[in-house]
Structure formats: C-alpha cells, structure tokens
Amino acid sequence: MQQDQTKTVKSEGGLQLLDKVRTYCIGLPEVAEQVDSFGHTSFRVSDKPFVMLGEHGEDGSLAIKTSPATQEILLQQDQTEYFKTPYIGQHGWVSIRFANRADWQEIEELIQEAYLRTAPKRLIRLLDR
C-alpha cells in the first residue's frame, strides 16, 4: 500500500529521503506505507511502525525504532546527529538530523534492526531464506 507522497513531504530534501527509505523498506516482507494523523509517513509491518518520516524545514526528518541499547550507543557518539525522538524516544525511537547527509549504510542497518524488532517471527524467517 503506497500513499501519495505529496500529502506529507514536499521539500526536495524530504522527497529524496522518502524515496531512499521507501526503496529500502518496500523490499522487506509485508511492509506497508501509511500517512498517520500527524502527517508523518510511516513504514509498518503488521500495522506497527518501525520507521517514520516527516519534514523539518527544507530537509526530511527520519525516526527509527531501535533497542534501548542501540539508542544509547547512537546518542553517546561524539558530535552525533542522533537524538531521542520527541514523545516516543523513551520507547527506543531515535531521530537523525540531516538524514540525507548521513551514512546511508548505517541508516539501512538501523532500518533493518527496526524491522526485525517489529516484524512477527514468520516474516523474519522469510528474510533468513
């Protein structure tokens, strides 16, 4: 299920980020894209979000569900661009400043971790094949 991207993300940077995240997430089993009531685009598995995008000025904003341990590691890095996601950071969500300029391989690894933390075991087994 894919939503009209113009509903939430309009800046060039936001659209580029959405395209990258969408390309990666749609390759995972049974992922759906949905716009929530706050206007954030989320990628979900079994109707549970594991990645959310919004817009912050001329750049897209990206939030990823992580484990508390991963979140702590990301937040403790020197000169980190990671920060606790407002309102849901206490549940392990981490956001990334300037996500378009971040190390995309690291973001893909975090997205995969988020998917694995959220997906039911039957879908995780599909990835193992």
Model confidence pTM above 0.85? yes
- Quick check: 64 and 92 in contact, CB under 8 A? no
Tens digit of each residue's pLDDT (9 = 90 or more) over 67-77: 999 999 999 99
- Quick check: 62 and 45 in contact, CB under 8 A? no
Q: Evaluate whether residue 127 is within a structural domain.
A: no
What integer pLDDT is reported at residue 10 of this predicted model?
A: 80
Q: Can you spell out the DSSP letters for 75-89?
A: HHSTT--EEEPTTTG
Q: Evaluate whether residue 50 is within a structural domain.
A: yes
Q: Evaluate whether residue 129 is within a structural domain.
A: no
Whether 1 has a pLDDT exceeding 70, the answer reads no
What integer pLDDT is reported at residue 4 of this predicted model?
A: 45
Q: Give the chain's domain count.
A: 1
Q: Evaluate whether residue 58 is within a structural domain.
A: yes
Q: Which domain holds residue 47?
A: 5-120
Q: Evaluate whether residue 102 is within a structural domain.
A: yes
Cβ within 8 Å of residue 3, ≥6 positions away: 33, 34, 35, 41
- Segment 35-53 shows an average pLDDT of 92
Residues forming a β-bridge with 41 = 35, 53
CATH number at residue 98: 3.90.1150.30
Whether 3 has a pLDDT exceeding 70, the answer reads no
What's the distance, CA 42 to chain centroid? 7
Tens digit of each residue's pLDDT (9 = 90 or more) over 107-127: 999 999 999 999 999 999 887
